[in-house]
Structure formats: C-alpha cells, structure tokens
Amino acid sequence: DAGVTQSPTHLIKTRGQQVTLRCSPKSGHDTVSWYQQALGQGPQFIFQYYEEEERQRGNFPDRFSGHQFPNYSSELNVNALWLGDSALYLCASSYRAPPGELFFGEGSRLTVL
C-alpha cells in the first residue's frame, strides 16, 4: 500500500523563479494538505484541498497556490520565489475533511539562492 509520495525530493531555485511541487496521497485518501517547515521549526499550514477545491488557507500570500486533480493528487505552486521560501514542503493526506490523523510524505526540500 503506497503511502504519500512527493516529488521532487530536493530542488534549487533562484530568487524570482517559480516552482511546482507534486503530491500523490495515500491510497483511499481524498484530502491533501500542504505544510511549510522552515529549518528548526514546526510545520505551518499552507492550505488544504478536498473535492478539487481549496477548503482552508493558512497565513500565506497569494504567491502560494495549489490544485487538486480528479485522482486526488495535488500540486503546490510558488511564484516569485524569495530566500525566505527555502524550507521543507510537506504534503499530508487524510480521508475526508476535517482531517483525522494526517499521513505525511517525506517532503520536498526547496532551496532558494
């Protein structure tokens, strides 16, 4: 049973560029949440997708956007990257919303130079 998978695992971008991160939820899950984890901190909620719609959003600017596809997979897009966007981006899946237990992937580590 495949867990949550994320790609890419590591990437390096320069300021001003755009990035797309991808997530496939655990089998049977229909809800995807994205979290940003800066070095030495706990994860912070970006947004959640359920039934292809953004259900709730954390305190992140509009540069952060997302999408959920009919197969429940999801993308996180970040435009106009700046140094402070360097972090581990974690995808978590659950069944239905509000979520019970969250299942996390191993994350995509983004470095912005």
Q: Which residues bind another protein (CB under 8 A)?
A: 33, 35, 40-45, 48, 55-56, 58, 88, 90, 92, 97-107, 109
Number of helices (H), then strands (E), belonging to the chain: the values are: 0, 11
The closest alpha carbon to 89, from 40, 37, 42, belongs to 37
**Least distance CB 33 / another protein (angstroms):** 7
| Structural element, H or E, at residue 63 | none
**Least distance CB 37 / another protein (angstroms):** 8
Instruction: Report the residue number, 11 or 102, with the smaller CB distance to another protein.
Output: 102
**Least distance CB 79 / another protein (angstroms):** 22
The closest alpha carbon to 4, from 37, 28, 38, 40, belongs to 28
